[in-house]
Amino acid sequence: FCQTVEIHAELGSTNDRARELIATEATLPALIVADRQTAGRGRGANRWWASDGALTFSIALDAAARGLTTAQHGLLSLATAVAIVEAVRTTTGRAAGVKWPNDVLLAGRKLAGVLIESPRPGRLVIGVGVNVANRFDGAPDDVRARATSLAGSGTTRQAVLAAFLSAFDARLTQLAAGDPQLIDAARAACVLKGEIVTLRDGERETTGACRGLAEDGALLIESDAKVASYYAGVIARSGE
């Protein structure tokens, strides 16, 4: 699946290394894996906190070479989250779920996060962090309260990565082909459906009942007896 593979003992951020490879025209797709990150980034201004044992990697992709149009980039985050859910099922038998647009939860706690960036038109960086063997003893309180890992399940980072790459390759092919199996899988894994959610996008805030996902991956929220599609934002569930 990947033409360029780099395995690092330590990196600042695998997404930053992927951006460098894109800038220097390395052969894509490229996979960059780091045993440890010293400056892992999350969405927005967030940092990605992880102790040793987390699986952290990025894939640098030429979108057109994979047959992806710009309009399909929005579904890419769901495709990535669905592939993580599949990798968790394959390697541990556990049923994780997708918290739109691209967090993966296990028993209501955050197991994995995805950070997708486009450093230049047509080039994508898909950064994935999965809590595999790490524990949260020294973690900040908010991480300890909300995160979980696969520690104790007997799986390894290598096994989860291999299962992810195979699932992701198949989901990318479905995305490029407009195959409805992708949105069906995302809908089946969606943990927000039926819940009262609050979506924040900049200054805008919407609260209502989540009605699941639209065909194009948008989140459907019903408020004031109307169902509207949302394409961006951060979700808080009631009580969070």
Name which of 81 and 175 has its Cβ closer to ligand BTN: 81
Alpha helices in the chain, H assignment, sequence order: 14-23, 73-92, 141-146, 157-177, 181-189
* Dihedral sign computed on CA atoms, order 144, 78, 234, 12: positive
DSSP 218: P
Count how many residues are written for the chain: 240
Task: State the residue for tokens 């969606």.
Answer: 190
Q: Give the N- to C-terminal CA distance of the chain in Å, as an integer.
A: 39
Q: Cβ(222)–Cβ(211) under 8 Å?
A: yes
Q: Which residues bind ligand BTN (CB under 6 A)?
A: 13-15, 37, 40-43, 46, 48, 56-58, 103, 113-115, 127-129
Unique residue bearing structure tokens 């991480």: 143
